[in-house]
Structure 1
Amino acid sequence: MSLPLHPEPEVVGIFKQWLKTNGATIHDAVHFEKNPSGFSVIAEQDVAGNTTIVSVPSTLAITPELALRALTDIIPSDARALTNSLQKWSERQLMCSYICAHWLFDEKSTPPPLRHRPYINMLPTHDLLRTALHFTPPELELFRGSNLYGATLDRQKTWEAEWQQCRSVFSAVDVNWGVSLSWEKYSTAATYLSSRAFPSSLLTSHPSLYPTPDSHPILLPGIDSLNHARGHPVSWIVTDPSTAAEPKVSLVLHKPTERGGELLNNYGLKPNAELILGYGFSLLHNPDDTIVLKIGGSENNGGKGWEVGRNARGIEPVWQAVLDAVCAGKDEEDQNVGVEDELYAADMLGEMAQGLYNRLPSGEIPLDKEVRSDVAIMLEHYLEGQRNILHSIIEFASHKEKRAVELAQEQGLTIVEEGDDETLE
């Protein structure tokens, strides 16, 4: 027998009514239950498979276009010259500033263009967020030596530059607005986007969850309420924008859920690095974990590197890049890859992976450091995946080296060890 559910907080009732008033539908079984990170969505009654849980009209979406119009409308007429600055902002700046603008006013004085307060009030507050940007300095320091540590610093630098630009415009409109637009508020709004946004390609005539070069982030209130379960069978159904007066996005759960069970969404196949940086949670033994490798001195896939997964999945382009680097100094007449080239390449790849492995943090938490339990769990999950991948790359390099030695022997060549290196005679 499932435990009785707690009564929903008042903020939930206001949110549900706001959805319905604005043309959305939400299943009667949907029950919001408080949890340490905000809310879980629990089934108040048995829910059959292939059930639509929530359906939201596209007009309720928070988009850059809506944000630009609303921000322009709330700027006083004597400061309208500043609206030209908004045109230069990125989609994230517009949407974050729109969300933050709701916090400039109390409930009664909120201008009509800021129409998403019932939704924003449902989102987790800053103290409940656990993305890498919300780690304390001692917590972030535990990740030093990993790719995630550098990615966190890069993201913070980018977001802080955006925030300062937005704040300068807010301050020019009203000094109090500038004071109110704190880094805490902006980073909170930006985290809502990193953890909840869908690509705008979802609302096109050919709906897709895959971003395109022309797509931008959008927020869909209600659709984003459910937590993640990897591989959970769900569908996002979009009515044809060309035929519907008001296109709707619907979330359909294909697996039945018993009363008291959590209604879950599927965010897609994401490595723990992305989940921790953008969402604030991780998965144990995540099969989608990856590590980004870059080869110095090569074109390096446009400078972005290659993602390699468990069991050295995706390593072949990296291996080819290492071979290319080894052969780069050869004479034009001798461009064929030889056994000695493969030996050098295998040694280079193995040393690179071993070096990355050695630089990974130990994962041990000093007794004098206060680290929250959920952050400690993320650290454990993340490091397990990184070590597993790097170990598989080392094994791949070892296999390549053994194969090169076998080929050398077949060709009657002798392997001569010089220190830690191997050459042929």
Structure 2
Amino acid sequence: MTDNLHHTLHTWATSHGASLNISVEVRQDDHSGAGFRVKAGAEIHPGDHIVSCPTSLTLSYLNALPNPPPSFRKDPSSPPFPEEFLASAPPHVVGRFFLIQQYLLGQDSFWWPYIRSLPQPDRPSSLPLPPFWDEDDLELLRGTNLEVSVREIKATLDREFRDSKKALEGWGQRSEYTPRLYNWAYAIFTSRSFMPSLVIPRCDELKLPDGVRSWNDFSILMPLFDVGNHSITAKTSWGTVEGKGCNLVTRDGHSGGQEIFNNYGMKTNAQLLLAYGFVIPAREELHNDYIHIRKRVPPGSDGSDVDGSQKPPEYLFSLRPMTHPSSVLGRALQSESIAPEDVFPAFRLVQDAMILDIAEQVLQNNPALGPSSSSTTGESGLLRRILTIDLPPESSQLVNIIIATIQQKALQELEKLDESEVEVDEGQEADLEPCQRVALYYRRRCREVLEGVMESIEAAVEDERYVALMRGVTLER
């Protein structure tokens, strides 16, 4: 986005009810692209409002409806979509087609100043997400858990576009909507949109459109508001004000020249790469490297729908102990707050919800392996005792089953990486494309995480608590 496009976007958005703090400007950075920065000589204080976007400026599925909810724009320049399409296509698909329509309208679209500021569909860089990489580049993700996700997304996009074109049969503008444009619209919504329930004032009091189950069945684009880049440690909040839309409020102080980040929420590097095309490199004070482990369950059981619309639970393996200060996301997910050194080594790099899940499955079939109910208070008490190996001798088999299950999962993932190993000489890395470098980083971190889990299990057998448990000896606590 050039400075001219920044200015045009800012002028257009603020003339239609948006606002940008007078001490903040949109600036381009070679590393992170456009973002919010504090003007030279200015300061931003905790609690300051950075940017706001009224609902009348947003772009989504709602704008494609014949009668959008109050305060959402109905643009007279937008040709209506056929009723059959609106009735049959999922809301998120309609939203993407509406974005395509506004792009095709060009300067006749109300949202044109915003759309011009977005990555354009005729440029290769407009589709930086893994589902749109060349096959050669995708080879670098083979064997990682992203390989399956990319394949699922590509298949879903193909099906959605095919079904939508069928529903648009006979509509005059049908031929202008292409797979390339649909993929572009997916990339824009995936990387820039917001959940309605978080940004629409008094959302729960609005009537849902017919056929929509939840306000989160689709997402919303928010011009100017979406310029902020992500930091997992940024202290921000989104405040909704009736009649004024949503405000981004910072809880941090900033001085002149500093970037003001938004916070997209707790997302692992796998999720960031899939949705935004980037990862957060590990450093001493922060890492974001986790492996997603999907639970294998029969269709229709334990959170998995027969039609595949709802995925089974996922758990995480971590590069560093889940309760380590640098494991910001890991600590947020842990049910129990226990110092890393107090957690049994084999469990330190594993999300505690996974450990509890395994234990509960074992105890469901063999309750005698668990501690007595009189010495344990609920799930929390059971989990804490397992994590610290504060267990009676009869629970030794339970611990070994949990360890073996974790070890098997890690080995399975390592074998996938080994079967598709990619060799890149250090001298060649400087010549790699950006997507290749980020994929290579992600792949290497996957291996490092999994090898760390295996090493932690090997170290665990020498832990005095484990040795005592296997010998049937009770240690003093």
Interval of TM-score (by shorter of Structure 1 and Structure 2): 0.7 to 0.9
1:31-68 deviations in Å (ceiling 9; x for gaps): 34274775344444333223433222121112322122
Cα distance, 1:125–1:41 mapped onto 2, change above 3 Å: farther
Q: Is the 8 A contact 1:193 1:219 kept in 2?
A: yes
Match of 2:230 among 205, 228, 231: 228
| 1:423 counterpart residue number | none
For 1:145 and 1:278, the matched residues in 2 are separated by 19
What amino acid is the match of 1:365?
Answer: V
Q: Is the 8 A contact 2:196 2:203 kept in 1?
A: no
Q: Is the 8 A contact 2:49 2:250 kept in 1?
A: yes
Q: Is the 8 A contact 2:201 2:245 kept in 1?
A: no
3-state SS in 2 of match to 1:293: strand
Q: Is the 8 A contact 2:102 2:112 kept in 1?
A: yes
What amino acid is the match of 2:450?
Answer: L
Q: Is the 8 A contact 2:53 2:247 kept in 1?
A: yes
| 2:340 counterpart residue number | none
For 1:163 and 1:397, the matched residues in 2 are separated by 46
Unaligned runs of at least 5 residues, structure 2:
67-73, 205-212, 305-310, 322-347, 371-393
Cα distance, 1:350–1:54 mapped onto 2, change above 3 Å: same
Cα distance, 1:98–1:358 mapped onto 2, change above 3 Å: same
More displaced 10-residue stretch of structure 1: 188-197 or 388-397: 388-397
Q: Is the 8 A contact 1:54 1:223 kept in 2?
A: yes
| 1:168 counterpart residue number | 166
Q: Is the 8 A contact 2:128 2:277 kept in 1?
A: yes
Q: Is the 8 A contact 1:92 1:190 kept in 2?
A: no
For 2:227 and 2:34, the matched residues in 1 are separated by 8
1:101-160 deviations in Å (ceiling 9; x for gaps): 0233342xx3xxx42111111111242232112311111111011111110110111122
1:236-288 deviations in Å (ceiling 9; x for gaps): 2221x2xxxx2231223344444444333222221111111111111102634
1:191-230 deviations in Å (ceiling 9; x for gaps): 11111111111214389xxxx9542411111110121223
Question: For 1:203-282, what aligned pairs fall within 5 Å after superposition?
Answer: 203-205=200-202, 214-215=215-216, 216-239=218-241, 241=242, 246-282=243-279
What amino acid is the match of 2:281?
Answer: L
Residue 46 (1) aligns with residue 41 (2) = yes
Q: Is the 8 A contact 2:25 2:39 kept in 1?
A: yes
For 2:395 and 2:252, the matched residues in 1 are separated by 54
Cα distance, 1:84–1:45 mapped onto 2, change above 3 Å: same
Q: Cα distance, 1:363 vs. partner? A: 5.2
Cα distance, 1:341–1:14 mapped onto 2, change above 3 Å: closer
What amino acid is the match of 1:349?
Answer: I
1:67-111 deviations in Å (ceiling 9; x for gaps): 2236998447xxx7x31321222221111111100233342xx3x
For 2:273 and 2:165, the matched residues in 1 are separated by 27
More displaced 10-residue stretch of structure 1: 292-301 or 132-141: 292-301
Match of 2:195 among 194, 199, 203: 199
What amino acid is the match of 1:105?
Answer: L
Q: Is the 8 A contact 2:36 2:259 kept in 1?
A: yes
For 1:399 and 1:284, the matched residues in 2 are separated by 27
Question: For 1:382-397, what aligned pairs fall within 5 Å after superposition?
Answer: 382-395=442-455, 397=457
Question: For 1:98-137, what aligned pairs fall within 5 Å after superposition?
Answer: 98-107=98-107, 110=108, 114-126=109-121, 127-128=124-125, 129-137=127-135
Cα distance, 1:280–1:47 mapped onto 2, change above 3 Å: farther
Cα distance, 1:291–1:167 mapped onto 2, change above 3 Å: same
For 2:166 and 2:32, the matched residues in 1 are separated by 32
What amino acid is the match of 1:24?
Answer: A
Q: Cα distance, 1:19 vs. partner? A: 0.9
TM-score (norm 2): 0.69
Unaligned runs of at least 5 residues, structure 1:
1-5, 412-425
Cα distance, 1:66–1:229 mapped onto 2, change above 3 Å: same
What amino acid is the match of 2:21?
Answer: H
3-state SS in 2 of match to 1:250: strand
What amino acid is the match of 1:164?
Answer: R
| 1:85 counterpart residue number | 85
For 2:176 and 2:314, the matched residues in 1 are separated by 41
Cα distance, 1:363–1:249 mapped onto 2, change above 3 Å: farther
For 1:350 and 1:7, the matched residues in 2 are separated by 50
RMSD: 3.6
Percent same amino acid at aligned positions?
A: 19
For 2:245 and 2:365, the matched residues in 1 are separated by 58
